[in-house]
Amino acid sequence: MNSRRIFWPAACALAALILFAGLSISGCGSGAAPAALTESDATPASDPIGEALFLDTRFAEYFAANMTGVNDPLPAGDPVVQQVQNVNGGPMPGPFAGQSMNCRSCHFVTEFQGVTNAGNRTYADFTTRSPIPRMTAAGFDHTPRNAMQMVDSMTARSGPLFLHFDGEFATPEDLVVGTLTGRNFGWTPAQYNDAIAHIAKVIREDDGSSQLAQERLDGLSYAIIFKGTDPRITPDILLPPSQRIDVTTATDMQIVNEIALCMGQYMRDLLFQRDEYNRYIGSPYDNFLRVNHLPQAPLAGETKAHYNQRLYQAVVALSDPIYITPKDGSYKYHSQPYQFGALELQGLKIFLGSASPGATNAHAGNCAACHQAPDFSDFVFHNTGVAQEEYDAANGSGGFMQLYVPSLAERNANFNAYMPASPNHPNAIEVFRHAAVTGQPQYADLGLWNIYQNPDVPNPQANIKGFVCAAGKDCSVDQGLPSTIAQFKTPILRDLVDSAPYFHNGSAATFNDVVNHYIAMSALAHAGAMRNAPTEFANMSLSQSDMAALVAFLQSLAEDYDDT
């Protein structure tokens, strides 16, 4: 079960400050407080308004094109949601069959609980790239990236927030607007204004008669919920006066921004288990640290890097470890044993350990340089070689090293030829945010390169530049753009078993595949055959003999998560 301790007033105030400058917006679906409480008193446990919006299937282009009325069922559902693709066992019946696309169609949780080769998800899907409602002008019929798991994606961090594998979104509210009006929901870039108008129409005309409204919103319409004055509104879905909006007088964009605030809060509320001190407690690994009195979290003012060094030293010095066995706990949703034993401990040492440059078979993965405990991510970008591996598999060994990548000036002068499509450039063909294709060497996925210094994506630029031009990185050439080639955001490793397949392209089906990838790519980096190789690979020294231990450690990060 997941523990939720988000305080909505602070989160909403922050969202209101950073979202859409110049617009008068309000609202935050946050399971708000009873009217007798002040805003500062409210500490909700969940967010039914945001969840209802997350599950609503009426915002998609297919619904707009085929509906007979906002509150009527579709004559026929969108074929894309009839089945759910699963790389482990073939297609499964879609939980939203007969309807159209919603956020949950790519970010599942308990819909396939108990299904063989499926099971629970941490708001992820089951395939390499998710299908989208219709072919785009650039030829996409699937998302260009794997659906990154969402649990704890908004967790507190020392640096800025980056969302999506390439950092396209600076806030969850940006992400919501971009998703609801984008290709994942069937809208083309040229239809942005149509999408905004349709989404607002759904909110204005909703009558609360849907099963979703009955189950989540006491049968009340979005208009009633957002206005917040009806005596039928129960405390868990009551918005305080400062957060209310009258959809009959609000602009379309104000309504969409209201939705974004509600759904943004819902996403902030997706957390792995924590105790009252905000320490992780759900996995065998967490319990191993606890019973052995190992440091479970950074000290006040301590960097994550220093904490990981301190943890490594404490783990190495542990002389008589107390192991976690199935008698100490059990899983409800996983078939593997609940354990952290000698093999997992060996894997933890490999994970935290760093080798001297040039060392061979040193049993040091240097994994924590990017996957920093206790969150197991540094939440920034690195080139792990996945894009190069995919490109070379399609075009021949060494092909990615020779791939022509334009300069910043050339890229800007030929936007449609190189960059992602957007409302400003709806005909861009995004050759560098595309899966590699055999026989078509122009296609590659360069990750962060597509977003950094992209004038069509202004919101994250300042924060990305801060990362790219950090101390020790060269920003003298094209403001550091070459250093972003093939960089992708570091995923969280907690409960990783519930978000397979792995990497931004879903190319690794198992933990063994992940470890094999790092063994191969770090060897290429050491040989000078990896383009834009990360500095972290210099301190990585792995071999097949490390496989079993590393895999066992990754499995020990599993915990039971559901959305109740």
Beta carbons within 10 angstroms of residue 5's beta carbon = 12
- The half-sphere exposure of 296 on its side-chain side, counting CA atoms within 13 A, is 19
The pLDDT value recorded for residue 358 is 80
Give 458: exposed, middle or buried? Use CB within 10 Å, 0-12, 13-18, 19+: exposed
Which DSSP string corresponds to 295-348? --SPPTT--HHHHHHHHHHHHHH-SSPPPB-GGG---SS-SS---B-HHHHHHH
Q: Nearest to residue 208, comparing CAs of 230, 183, 193?
A: 230
Task: Give residue 137's pLDDT band: very low, low, confident or very high (50, 70, 90).
Answer: low
Averaged pLDDT score across all residues of the chain:
90
Instruction: Say if residues 213 and 221 touch (Cβ distance below 8 Å).
Output: yes
Rg for the chain, CA atoms, rounded: 24
Q: Nearest to residue 15, comparing CAs of 242, 167, 241?
A: 242
Instruction: Say if residues 501 and 386 touch (Cβ distance below 8 Å).
Output: no
> What pLDDT, in 10s, does the model give residues 405-414?
999 999 999 9
The pLDDT value recorded for residue 155 is 87
- Would the pLDDT of 16 be above 60? no
Token pair of 340 as six digits = 């952290």
- Would the pLDDT of 193 be above 50? yes
Write phi, then psi, for 83 (nearest 5 degrees): -130, 160
The pLDDT value recorded for residue 28 is 54
Beta carbons within 10 angstroms of residue 53's beta carbon = 27
Regarding pTM above 0.85, the answer is yes
The pLDDT value recorded for residue 68 is 98
The C-alpha atoms of residue 368 and residue 380 are separated, in whole angstroms, by 13
Beta carbons within 10 angstroms of residue 7's beta carbon = 13
- Give me the torsion for CA of 253, 254, 256, 262, rounded to 10°: 160
% of the chain at pLDDT higher than 90 = 85
- Would the pLDDT of 35 be above 60? no
- Would the pLDDT of 472 be above 90? no
Residue showing tokens 């939720």 = 4
> What pLDDT, in 10s, does the model give residues 532-554?
999 999 999 999 999 999 999 99
SS3 169: strand
Please state, in angstroms and as integers, the Cα–Cα distance from residue 561 to each residue in 105, 273, 276, 284, following that order. 18, 8, 18, 14
Domain-by-domain residue ranges, the chain? 8-268, 276-377+492-497+539-564, 381-489
Lowest mean pLDDT among 62-71, 153-162, 189-198, 345-354: 153-162
Give 331: exposed, middle or buried? Use CB within 10 Å, 0-12, 13-18, 19+: middle
Token pair of 239 as six digits = 């918005």
- Would the pLDDT of 492 be above 80? yes
Residue showing tokens 């996409």 = 140
Fill in the amino acid letter for 458.
Answer: P
- Would the pLDDT of 470 be above 60? yes
SS3 437: strand
- Would the pLDDT of 286 be above 70? yes
CB proximity list for 316: less than 8 A, separation 6 or greater: 349
Q: Are strands 83-84 and 381-382 parallel, antiparallel or unpaired?
A: unpaired
- Would the pLDDT of 119 be above 70? yes
Average pLDDT over residues 100-129: 95
